[in-house]
Amino acid sequence: MDFKVMAAAAEKLKDAGTGVFGKALDEFNGAVPVIHSLGFDITGMHLEAGVPPAISAKLIGAVANVDVAKIKDLAQKNAENKVIVLLLKSLETAYNLKDQLKELQFKGVEVDLTLGLPPKVNVGFLN
């Protein structure tokens, strides 16, 4: 495969990734009020300029503020926003797992949200 064909294929991939990335970024902007309503602060953001591009955010909150009923309600109300739903479902799953570990008295929740291809959420608990 010659260089021109490879460059054209890379450009198509970049354009497709940028469109998806832009939509995810718009959805993240829509998620900010939901994030704050759950008692989380956005403590950092990072941009990965690659193919495909990615943006990541770190969210910190208190375990006491996590309300599974509120999470489920917000997920239903924001079903069209994939970023919100991914974040909320991940938080709900992690919180339910934490409930099974009652001996561990975690006080904080840390969420690493990455918007890219594919998007991912990592939820951790802090002492």
Cβ-proximal residues to 83 (8 Å cutoff; 6+ apart), any chain: 24, 27, 28, 30, 31, 113, 115, 119
Segment 65-121, tens digit of pLDDT: 788 888 899 999 989 888 888 889 988 888 887 777 777 788 888 999 888 878 889
Q: Are strands 54-62 and 41-48 parallel, antiparallel or unpaired?
A: antiparallel
Q: What is the pLDDT of residues 14-61, one digit of tens each?
A: 555 556 667 767 777 888 898 898 889 999 888 887 777 788 899 999
How many angstroms separate the Cα of 37 from the Cα of each of 32, 65, 75, 77, 80? 9, 10, 13, 13, 18
**Residue 105 has what pLDDT?**
80
Between 10 and 43, the more confident residue is: 43
Give the per-residue pLDDT at 58.
94
Q: Identify the pLDDT of residue 45.
A: 87
Q: What is the pLDDT of residue 43?
A: 92
> In angstroms, what CA-CA distances link 81 with 4, 14, 86?
38, 23, 9
Residue 67 phi, psi dihedral angles, 5° rounding = -120, 110
Query: What is the C-alpha end-to-end distance of the chain, expressed in Å?
Result: 54
Nearest-10 Cα torsion for 94, 17, 46, 90: -10
Whether pLDDT at 1 is above 50 = no
- Strand partners for 45: 57
